[in-house]
Amino acid sequence: MATRLSKLLSLVVSTSIAATVASAAVGGELQKIMKARGLTEKDVIHAAKTYTPSGGRDEFIVFSSGGQSGQIIVYGVPTMRILKYIAVFTPEPWQGYGYDEDSKKVLREGNIRGREINWGDTHHPGLSEKDGKYDGKWLVINDKANPRVAVIDLKDFETKQIVVNPVFKSEHGGAFFTPNSEYILEACQYAAPFDNNYHPIEEYKETYRGGVTFWKFDPKKGRIKPKDSFVLELPPYMQDLSDAGKGASYGWGFTNSFNTEMYTGGIEVGMPPFEAGCSRNDTDFLHVYNWQKLAKLAKNKKNYKMINGIKVIPMSVAVANNALFLIPEPKSPHGVDVSPDGEYITVCGKLDTHASVYKWSKIKKLIKNHEYAGKDPYGIPILDMKKSLHGQVELGLGPLHNQYSNVDGEIYTSLYVDSQIVKWNYKKLKVLDKVNVHYNVGHLCGMEGKSADPQGKYIISLNKLAIDRFDPVGPLHPQNHQLIDVSGKKMDLLVDMPLPLGEPHQAVAIRASKLHPEVRYKMGTNTKTGKPHIGKTLAGQERIVRKGKNVYVYATLVRSHINPERITVNKGDTVTIYLTNLERAQDETHGFTVDNFDIHASLEPGETAELKFKADIEGVFPYYCTEFCSALHLEMMGYLMVKDP
């Protein structure tokens, strides 16, 4: 044991004194600690593979969905240290998100039919791409419950835009970029009428619809352009996860579905429950569509209808233009994942023990020769499953999602029921290795594992249940992300990380070296728009302006002073406070609140933010800096005086 440990430690320390240090450590201190904590040699090796000394950096940055929290969780690999929660669909007080006027504007873009929505069910984060590789510029994420997509700028890790899907009532198949970030794919989940009216469930087949939305993205500005976006109407099969083709299959998209039975559940007593009724058939449909062709069709008025302000291409138009096909896939599938070269498309069905590997060149040939096995009830051509398949492999129980590795042909798949990750070869159709995880894995996250340039090295298992893995904290357990070393022949489970923020459905990882976030803003920036803030205030320009019953305060913050220190208003006045953080020093954030008014701003160096409230109660209200910024932080305060005129 001592020899292997010395070897490892000399690798870790990697200096000439390593050997001395190692042997001393092994002989003395280290063995004492191992004994006291009950650690095995393997445990110590795992620790050495993940531990990073203070000030150290991670090789990969992971963006994980925060599930029902409506946020995104950012952490590093291999240390599994949480670095940030990005507020997206949910107010987040620390960041002032939803508590200052500028972030409220972003959050309220997510209102649906005039209603404020203050949570989101985030599932799938997606990183912007260039040639199918991550460029480290933009991050998007979907909200399943209230069909929306949000855009986050990776220059400051802040949410900049939320778009509401005007026709879907639910969605799960987003948010996935096309290879040059031309579009963001967002596929529907539970079919519903596209309009906002009531339609009886008996008219399911006629008036309920599924679809895929193609959100036009401007990769320079990092904004979705709803006016240039469009929807492809699809049958009321429950569309599911999607992936954009790349390389060989560039220009195409793939979307799974379940309930092609079009079962609508509980109509009459004695009918099977929903989950049984919608799993009767052995196969569902993989939707295959040409988004390049559809984008061209969406330019001509005769090819689309406007519904709720968005262009909708009817499926009949897509079919007539050879832009939409179906291929049977094992029933109730979950993930559809395109290989780095775009030639293989792997589909895993929860209720089938096999993974099905489709071959793009075979599909392309069938499409080119108009060789169809039939049509679905809506007239969409069906391609023969056998003729489209490269092959199938038995993986185990409950295969869900796939990630690719840097080794040619290598793929990793999560097995929900077996609680395992399986490594296999999708070209040779051969299982290579399996490792147990704890427990019930959903998605798994490879390092750039679904891009055209996967990095291998690690797989993270995003487990749905933690059960006995952590100290008990009541009936609601944290989620468990497990880091697995996949650099060797056998997979090696390294460490567990509890995630207590929501159910992190999917995570995407990018090389840390590809991210270049800023440490300060240009002085007076509205961080939500990137433009100079209308309330930008420099040192010496602080003032209070009254216009009728509106009071405007132009304030600055700098260690350790808020200027002005006294604001006097009349009861009933509307008060707008513009705050500029004059700091240039890294990490010198000031926070700001006025007690009792439910407002808060977080001001990063150079940022200007706007707070607004009605001074509707009389009294004396201290305001202060909420971030411990200096030795005189407590002194960074002032008074709002509200008097009855």
- Residues of this chain that bind ligand CUK (CB under 6 A): 123-124, 172, 241, 334, 400-401, 442-443, 505-506
Instruction: Report in angstroms how near the CB of residue 623 gets to ligand CUA at its nearest.
Output: 12
Instruction: Report in angstroms how near the CB of residue 640 gets to ligand CUA at its nearest.
Output: 17
Instruction: Report in angstroms how near the CB of residue 636 gets to ligand CUA at its nearest.
Output: 4
CA torsion angle 233 236 242 246 (round to 10): -40
| 590 binding partner (options ligand CUK, ligand CUA, none; Cβ < 5 to 8 Å by kind) | ligand CUA
Looking at beta carbons only, is 381 or 442 nearer to ligand CUK?
A: 442
Residues in contact with ligand CUA by the rule CB under 6 A: 590, 625, 627-629, 633, 636
| 350 binding partner (options ligand CUA, ligand CUK, none; Cβ < 5 to 8 Å by kind) | none
Measured CA to CA, the distance from residue 164 to residue 186 in angstroms comes to 11
- Determine the residue with CB nearest ligand CUK: 505
**What is the torsional sign of CA 144, 149, 153, 156?**
negative
**Which residue in 404, 400, 510, 390 sits closest to 452, CA to CA?**
404
Instruction: Report in angstroms how near the CB of residue 631 gets to ligand CUA at its nearest.
Output: 10
Looking at beta carbons only, is 78 or 398 nearer to ligand CUK?
A: 398
The contacts of residue 509 (CB under 8 Å, 6+ apart) are 60, 61, 62, 63, 77, 445, 446, 447, 448, 449, 458, 460
The contacts of residue 414 (CB under 8 Å, 6+ apart) are 399, 400, 401, 420, 421, 441, 442, 443, 444, 461, 462
- Determine the residue with CB nearest ligand CUA: 625
Instruction: Report in angstroms how near the CB of residue 637 gets to ligand CUA at its nearest.
Output: 9
Looking at beta carbons only, is 191 or 558 nearer to ligand CUA?
A: 558
Measured CA to CA, the distance from residue 248 to residue 390 in angstroms comes to 15
**What is the torsional sign of CA 125, 128, 130, 136?**
negative
Looking at beta carbons only, is 222 or 446 nearer to ligand CUK?
A: 446
Phi-psi region of 308 (alpha: psi -120 to 50; beta: other; left: phi over 0): left
Q: At what angle do helices 41-50 and 2-13 cross, to 10 degrees?
A: 10
**Pairing between β-strand 531-532 and β-strand 566-570 as defined by DSSP bridges:** unpaired
| 442 binding partner (options ligand CUA, ligand CUK, none; Cβ < 5 to 8 Å by kind) | ligand CUK
Instruction: Report in angstroms how near the CB of residue 415 gets to ligand CUK at its nearest.
Output: 13
Instruction: Report in angstroms how near the CB of residue 159 gets to ligand CUA at its nearest.
Output: 24
Q: Indicate the SS3 state at residue 22.
A: helix
| 625 binding partner (options ligand CUK, ligand CUA, none; Cβ < 5 to 8 Å by kind) | ligand CUA
Instruction: Report in angstroms how near the CB of residue 462 gets to ligand CUK at its nearest.
Output: 8
Looking at beta carbons only, is 223 or 633 nearer to ligand CUA?
A: 633
| 423 binding partner (options ligand CUK, ligand CUA, none; Cβ < 5 to 8 Å by kind) | none
Looking at beta carbons only, is 464 or 633 nearer to ligand CUA?
A: 633
For residue 35, what is the DSSP state? H
| 633 binding partner (options ligand CUK, ligand CUA, none; Cβ < 5 to 8 Å by kind) | ligand CUA
Measured CA to CA, the distance from residue 160 to residue 87 in angstroms comes to 11
| 334 binding partner (options ligand CUA, ligand CUK, none; Cβ < 5 to 8 Å by kind) | ligand CUK
Looking at beta carbons only, is 107 or 141 nearer to ligand CUK?
A: 141
Q: At what angle do helices 18-27 and 29-37 cross, to 10 degrees?
A: 50
Instruction: Report in angstroms how near the CB of residue 553 gets to ligand CUA at its nearest.
Output: 17
Looking at beta carbons only, is 84 or 464 nearer to ligand CUK?
A: 464
Q: Decide if 470 contacts 482 (C-beta within 8 A).
A: no
| 148 binding partner (options ligand CUA, ligand CUK, none; Cβ < 5 to 8 Å by kind) | none
Instruction: Name the strand (E) or helix (H) holding 224.
Output: strand 223-224
Measured CA to CA, the distance from residue 64 to residue 448 in angstroms comes to 13
| 627 binding partner (options ligand CUA, ligand CUK, none; Cβ < 5 to 8 Å by kind) | ligand CUA
CA distances from 161 to 85, 87, 307, 317, 604 (A): 17, 12, 22, 31, 20
**What is the torsional sign of CA 514, 519, 524, 529?**
positive
Residue with tokens 């600690």: 33
Instruction: Report in angstroms how near the CB of residue 334 gets to ligand CUK at its nearest.
Output: 5
| 443 binding partner (options ligand CUK, ligand CUA, none; Cβ < 5 to 8 Å by kind) | ligand CUK
